[in-house]
């Protein structure tokens, strides 16, 4: 069982710094997911842990030992690559056995490990095949099998599902989750897909431009984002964001966004005139068929998915509002729609994007 | 984007319109005869029409000469025109292959032919082996992140662009009795070496110069093969703790093998055909030490006192047969590489 600890890790390519002092602890047996947009440094961070990239400063510790100068092989980690990185000229069996042969393990033991892993991943029937004779999902399993046979301290996954089609991705996601439950190793997983992150992770690390924005359990990030970036990144469709200024009126401090008044009197840190952003997720907006909501909008696009409905509505002076409703709604494009917003589910961000409140009480 | 026959809206479109006018006129002019031909030949016949110019050239310069060559190989005498030459059936082939012991060229009636074959075999053995080895080493080095990589790639490829005669003259200038190399040897107090007088030295330099001149081409094929290997594979091997030797022999070499096979077969074909460089460099000498099969054919047909076209043609057919087998091998190797 393995614990990985990054302390003030910096990484620069010449003048260009891509990782800016990251501190992070991945606990034993944890499924930790690095998520962020393209170029945020998540793959670089994974490669740093793997030992495939050096660091400019800071320390990387595995089980309490600093491994900055320890080679990738000696770190005892196994990595599953985005491209699978299977040796095309070797059979599935040879691919899985190759790493073990390097360590001069007895042949019988290698055979046992390969066959056990193949059974676990249900690829026993393909052991004699070459990778090109396998489907994407089967190749993915072989790549995971190659990692499992080494009995590594921790598994590192670099966007392993991104080459699969949507349906297979869902299947593999479930299998990965089941695999983690079965073998219980420490796993670090990189993805840009926040659905993957939410469904797989014990802990999510949200990265942006080489810094950690927030670390936490999936629902913690969803319910209590620490800034507007995390709030926007976690959750699909994105959180609706409205900008405005705090104004003190006769009833107290409030923000008024195109006629929508939100009381801020229970937020002492906000002052008159502060620029604020109000965020609310699509599922926290209610639709009023009787027209008695707070804001009247015009439906521009409807997406009827059968079990749920997405509505994209325009209101004067506001960015397009996304509304999520369960079930099927008989709403058509161009229809007027009255909406109301749950104060308890609203998020308030200051001018720098930092969260001021997750939920208003009034 | 506006189509050329739309009314131009901007200056750029107007210029395009003007520039396209000759093309448009040409297409209109071609349209009528081509439509008529298509009606005549049918759609299925049109590809043959487009292939015709190439087929004519291929026929004139490859197929007809090939048959002529075969016809000459069945004739004897010294007359130039086929109609004046007596038909001798397979006598020329019988003469070429009339040997008491094939391992000893001197036991053959046409010992120069067999000497040419033996010389070519020795040349090919050393030239192909070292060519592939040096090309591979160079490609491996130039595939790494080294300073001035583009420059070095150009340097190694540059000799490929030179004419074989130029290559030979450059090296002759270096290797002659009073050449730069001997001047250098003398300047450091060593004896002059008469490179083109010693059979071993002459063969050595024939092989060396040939490798120098062609290595860049094969290096490029191997370099392309190396660059096609996914970097992830090396990283996976690194994670697995694979030693550098094992990475080379178990990953790089097997994945490069289809390219290696193409290089080996191409080098073999070029080796069998070797002529111009060595002819200018050594003239086939000393004696017949560097006289290869193509030079034997050339001498037999054109430079010997008695111009024996029949015998030269028969030797050409034998050489053609060898090249045909090698070319089939090369095609099979290329197919294997493309399917790998």
Do B34 and B162 share a structural domain?
Answer: no
Do A29 and A173 share a structural domain?
Answer: yes
Q: Has residue B270 been placed in a domain?
A: yes
Residue A197 sits in a domain whose CATH number is 3.40.50.300
8 Å CB contact between A313 and A300 = yes
**Surface-to-core class of residue A263, CB atoms within 10 Å of its CB (0-12 exposed, 13-18 middle, 19+ buried):** middle
Return the residue matching tokens 């000393």.
B286
Do B22 and B160 share a structural domain?
Answer: no
ipTM of predicted assembly, 2 dp: 0.84
Spell out the residues 6+ positions from residue A37 whose beta carbon is closer than 8 angstroms to its own: A192, A208, A233
8 Å CB contact between A334 and A299 = yes
Across the interface, whether the CB atoms of A52 and B238 are under 8 A apart is answered: yes
Do A38 and A158 share a structural domain?
Answer: yes
**Which of A203, A233, A263 is the last residue in one of the domains?**
A233
Do A200 and A327 share a structural domain?
Answer: no
Q: Which residues in chain A are contacts of B236 at CB distance < 8 A?
A: 79, 81, 85, 87, 146
Q: Has residue B140 been placed in a domain?
A: yes
* Numbered residues of chain B with Cβ closer than 8 Å to any chain A Cβ: 230, 232-233, 235-243, 246, 250-251, 254-255, 340
Closest by CA position to A60, among listed A24, A18, A12: A24
Across the interface, whether the CB atoms of B239 and A98 are under 8 A apart is answered: no
Spell out the residues 6+ positions from residue B11 whose beta carbon is closer than 8 angstroms to its own: none
Return the residue matching tokens 């506006």.
B2
Query: Is the minimum CB–CB distance between A88 and chain B shorter than 8 Å?
Result: yes
Q: Given this model, what pLDDT does residue A214 score? A: 96
Domain total for chain B? 2
Across the interface, whether the CB atoms of B232 and A85 are under 8 A apart is answered: yes
CA–CA distance from A333 to each of A298, A301, A311 (Å)?
Answer: 8, 6, 9
DSSP assigned state of A316: T
Do B185 and B43 share a structural domain?
Answer: no
Do A296 and A180 share a structural domain?
Answer: no
Do A200 and A55 share a structural domain?
Answer: yes
**What is d(CA A62, CA A25) in angstroms, rounded to the nearest whole number?**
10
Question: What's the angle, vertex CA B57, arms to CA B51 and CA B63, rounded to 5?
Answer: 105
**What is d(CA A160, CA A169) in angstroms, rounded to the nearest whole number?**
9
Q: Is B14 helix (H, G, I), strand (E, B) or coil?
A: helix
CA distance B261 to chain A (A): 16
Do A84 and A210 share a structural domain?
Answer: yes
Q: Given this model, what pLDDT does residue B50 score? A: 92
**Which of A206, A233, A260 is the last residue in one of the domains?**
A233
Do A259 and A130 share a structural domain?
Answer: no
Considering only alpha carbons, which residue of chain A is nearest residue B232?
A85
Q: Given this model, what pLDDT does residue A10 score? A: 96
CB nearest to B235's CB, from A52, A71, A74: A52
8 Å CB contact between B164 and B277 = yes
Do B287 and B162 share a structural domain?
Answer: yes
Across the interface, whether the CB atoms of B238 and A78 are under 8 A apart is answered: no
Q: Which band of pLDDT confidence, cut at 50, 70 and 90, is reported for residue A249? A: confident
Spell out the residues 6+ positions from residue B243 whose beta carbon is closer than 8 angstroms to its own: A102
Do B102 and B50 share a structural domain?
Answer: no
Backbone angles phi, psi at A66, to 5 degrees: -70, 125
Q: Has residue B4 been placed in a domain?
A: no
**What is d(CA B54, CA B61) in angstroms, rounded to the nearest whole number?**
11
Do B138 and B55 share a structural domain?
Answer: no
Considering only alpha carbons, which residue of chain B is nearest residue A83?
B232
Q: Has residue B282 been placed in a domain?
A: yes
Q: Is A241 helix (H, G, I), strand (E, B) or coil?
A: strand
CA distance B238 to chain A (A): 6
Across the interface, whether the CB atoms of B255 and A103 are under 8 A apart is answered: no
Query: Is the minimum CB–CB distance between A13 and chain B shorter than 8 Å?
Result: no
Query: Could you read off the pLDDT of A287-329 as tens digits, one per residue?
Result: 998 888 889 999 999 999 999 999 999 998 899 999 999 999 8
Which of A50, A54, A75, A85 has the highest number of chain B CBs within 10 A, making it the mutation to test binding with B? Answer: A85
Q: pTM value?
A: 0.79
Do A352 and A264 share a structural domain?
Answer: yes
Across the interface, whether the CB atoms of A50 and B340 are under 8 A apart is answered: no
Do A208 and A95 share a structural domain?
Answer: yes
Q: Which residues in chain A are contacts of B237 at CB distance < 8 A?
A: 98
Spell out the residues 6+ positions from residue A74 whose beta carbon is closer than 8 angstroms to its own: A51, A67, B241
Which of A43, A44, A71, A81 has the highest number of chain B CBs within 10 A, making it the mutation to test binding with B? Answer: A81
Do B299 and B265 share a structural domain?
Answer: yes
CB nearest to A81's CB, from B236, B246, B340: B236
Q: What is the pLDDT along chain B (340 residues), one digit of tens a residue?
A: 444 455 667 788 888 888 888 888 998 899 989 999 999 999 999 999 999 999 999 999 999 999 999 999 999 988 889 889 999 999 999 989 988 888 888 888 888 899 999 999 999 999 999 999 999 999 999 998 888 888 888 888 999 999 999 999 999 999 988 889 999 999 999 988 988 899 999 999 999 999 999 999 999 999 999 999 999 999 999 998 899 999 999 999 999 998 998 899 899 999 999 999 999 999 888 988 999 999 999 999 998 888 899 999 999 999 999 989 988 888 887 787 666 6
State the average pLDDT for chain A: 91
Across the interface, whether the CB atoms of B240 and A99 are under 8 A apart is answered: yes
Domain that holds residue B314: 82-339
Domain that holds residue A283: 240-358
- Number of residue pairs across A and B with CB atoms under 8 Å? 57
CA distance B129 to chain A (A): 25
Residue A328 sits in a domain whose CATH number is 2.40.50.140
Q: Has residue B74 been placed in a domain?
A: no
8 Å CB contact between A7 and A59 = yes
Q: How would you label A114-141 residue by residue, b for 16+ Cβ within 10 Å and e otherwise?
A: beebbebbebeebbeebbeebeebbbbb
DSSP assigned state of A39: T
8 Å CB contact between A113 and A93 = no
**Surface-to-core class of residue A170, CB atoms within 10 Å of its CB (0-12 exposed, 13-18 middle, 19+ buried):** middle
8 Å CB contact between B95 and B83 = no
**What is d(CA A132, CA A89) in angstroms, rounded to the nearest whole number?**
9
Query: Is the minimum CB–CB distance between A151 and chain B shorter than 8 Å?
Result: no
**What is d(CA B183, CA B201) in angstroms, rounded to the nearest whole number?**
17
Q: Has residue B72 been placed in a domain?
A: no
Do A261 and A225 share a structural domain?
Answer: no
Q: Has residue B77 been placed in a domain?
A: no
Backbone angles phi, psi at A12, to 5 degrees: -130, 145
Residue B326 sits in a domain whose CATH number is 1.10.3720.10
Considering only alpha carbons, which residue of chain B is nearest residue A148?
B240
Domain total for chain A? 2
Q: Has residue B253 been placed in a domain?
A: yes
CA distance A218 to chain B (A): 30
CB nearest to B233's CB, from A79, A87, A102: A87
CA distance B338 to chain A (A): 14
Residues A80-92 have a mean pLDDT of 93
Which of A44, A62, A88, A154 has the highest number of chain B CBs within 10 A, making it the mutation to test binding with B? Answer: A88
Spell out the residues 6+ positions from residue A201 whose beta carbon is closer than 8 angstroms to its own: A31, A32, A33, A189, A217, A218
Query: Is the minimum CB–CB distance between A78 and chain B shorter than 8 Å?
Result: yes
For residue A14, is pLDDT > 60? yes
What Rg do the C-alpha atoms of chain A give, in angstroms?
Answer: 25
Q: Given this model, what pLDDT does residue B2 score? A: 42
CB nearest to B242's CB, from A83, A102, A146: A102
CA distance A109 to chain B (A): 17
Question: What's the angle, vertex CA B229, arms to CA B216 and CA B145, rounded to 5?
Answer: 60
Q: Which residues in chain A are contacts of B247 at CB distance < 8 A?
A: none
CA distance A280 to chain B (A): 42
Considering only alpha carbons, which residue of chain B is nearest residue A78?
B239
Across the interface, whether the CB atoms of A98 and B242 are under 8 A apart is answered: yes
Which of A73, A78, A114, A133 has the highest number of chain B CBs within 10 A, making it the mutation to test binding with B? Answer: A73
**Surface-to-core class of residue B204, CB atoms within 10 Å of its CB (0-12 exposed, 13-18 middle, 19+ buried):** middle
**Which of A233, A257, A292 is the last residue in one of the domains?**
A233
Do A245 and A227 share a structural domain?
Answer: no
Q: Is B120 helix (H, G, I), strand (E, B) or coil?
A: helix
Do A39 and A181 share a structural domain?
Answer: yes
Residue-level length of chain A: 362
CA distance B217 to chain A (A): 26
CA–CA distance from B135 to each of A332, A341, B274 (Å)?
Answer: 69, 71, 19
Do B292 and B233 share a structural domain?
Answer: yes
Q: Given this model, what pLDDT does residue B337 score? A: 67
Do B40 and B119 share a structural domain?
Answer: no
Q: How many CB atoms lie within 10 A of CB B200?
A: 9
Residues A117-146 have a mean pLDDT of 91
Q: Is A30 helix (H, G, I), strand (E, B) or coil?
A: coil
CA–CA distance from B123 to each of A129, A182, B143 (Å)?
Answer: 42, 63, 29
């Amino acid at each position: 069982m393995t614990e990985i600890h990054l302390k003030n890790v910096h990484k620069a390519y010449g003048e260009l710094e891509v990782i800016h002092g990251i501190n992070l602890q991945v606990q034993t047996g944890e499924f930790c997911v690095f998520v962020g947009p393209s170029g945020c440094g998540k793959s670089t961070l994974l490669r740093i842990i793997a030992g495939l990239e050096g660091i400019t400063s800071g320390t990387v510790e595995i089980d309490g030992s600093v491994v900055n100068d320890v080679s990738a092989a000696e770190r005892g980690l196994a990595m599953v690559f985005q491209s699978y990185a299977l040796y095309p000229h070797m059979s599935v069996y040879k691919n899985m056995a190759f790493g073990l042969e390097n360590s001069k393990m007895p042949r019988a033991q290698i055979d046992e490990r390969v066959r056990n892993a193949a059974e676990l991943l249900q690829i026993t029937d393909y052991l004699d095949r070459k990778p090109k004779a396998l489907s994407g999902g089967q190749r993915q399993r072989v790549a995971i099998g190659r990692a499992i046979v080494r009995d590594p301290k921790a598994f590192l996954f670099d966007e392993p599902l991104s080459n699969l089609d949507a349906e297979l991705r869902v299947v593999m996601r479930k299998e990965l989750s089941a695999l983690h439950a079965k073998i219980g190793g420490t796993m670090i997983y990189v993805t840009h897909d926040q659905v993957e992150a939410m469904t797989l992770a014990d802990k999510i690390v949200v990265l942006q431009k080489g810094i950690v924005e927030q670390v936490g359990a999936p629902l913690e990030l969803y319910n209590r984002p620490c800034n507007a970036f995390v709030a926007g990144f976690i959750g699909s469709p994105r959180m609706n964001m409205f900008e405005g200024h705090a104004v003190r009126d006769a009833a107290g401090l409030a923000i008024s966004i195109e006629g929508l008044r939100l009381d801020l009197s229970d937020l002492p840190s906000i002052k008159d005139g502060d620029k604020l952003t109000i965020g609310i997720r699509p599922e926290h907006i209610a639709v009023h068929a009787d027209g008695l909501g707070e804001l009247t909008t015009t439906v521009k696009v409807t997406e009827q998915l059968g079990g749920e409905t997405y509505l994209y509505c325009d209101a004067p002076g506001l960015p397009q509002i996304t509304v999520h409703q369960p079930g099927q709604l008989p709403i058509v494009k161009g229809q007027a729609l009255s909406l109301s917003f749950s104060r308890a589910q609203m998020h308030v961000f200051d001018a720098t994007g930092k969260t001021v409140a997750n939920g208003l009480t009034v | 984007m506006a189509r050329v026959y739309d009314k131009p809206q901007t200056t750029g479109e107007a210029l395009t319109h003007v520039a396209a006018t000759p093309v448009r006129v040409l297409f209109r002019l071609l349209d009528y005869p081509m439509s008529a031909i298509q009606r005549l030949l049918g759609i299925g016949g049109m590809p043959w029409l487009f292939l015709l110019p190439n087929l004519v050239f291929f026929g004139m310069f490859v197929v007809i000469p090939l048959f002529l060559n075969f016809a000459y190989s069945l004739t004897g005498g010294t007359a130039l025109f086929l109609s004046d030459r007596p038909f001798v059936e397979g006598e020329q082939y019988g003469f070429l292959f009339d040997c008491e012991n094939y391992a000893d060229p001197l036991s053959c009636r046409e010992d120069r032919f067999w000497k040419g074959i033996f010389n070519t075999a020795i040349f090919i053995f050393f030239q192909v082996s070292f060519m592939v080895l040096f090309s591979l080493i160079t490609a491996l080095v130039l595939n790494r992140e080294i300073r001035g990589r583009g420059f070095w790639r150009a340097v190694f490829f540059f000799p490929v662009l030179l004419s074989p005669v130029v290559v030979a003259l450059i090296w002759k200038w270096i290797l002659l009795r009073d050449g730069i190399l001997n001047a250098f040897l003398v300047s450091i107090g060593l004896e002059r070496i008469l490179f083109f007088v010693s059979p071993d030295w002459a063969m050595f330099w024939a092989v060396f110069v040939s490798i120098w001149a062609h290595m860049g081409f094969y290096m490029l094929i191997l370099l392309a093969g190396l660059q096609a290997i996914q970097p992830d594979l090396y990283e996976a091997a690194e994670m697995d703790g694979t030693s550098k030797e094992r990475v080379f022999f178990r990953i790089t070499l097997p994945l490069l093998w289809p390219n290696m096979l193409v290089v080996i077969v191409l080098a073999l074909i070029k080796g069998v055909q070797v002529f111009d460089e060595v002819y200018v460099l050594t003239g086939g000498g000393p004696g017949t030490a560097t006289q290869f099969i193509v030079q034997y054919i050339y001498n037999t047909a054109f430079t010997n006192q008695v111009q024996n076209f029949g015998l030269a043609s028969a030797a050409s057919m034998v050489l053609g047969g060898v090249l045909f087998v090698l070319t089939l091998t090369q095609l099979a190797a290329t197919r294997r590489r493309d399917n790998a």
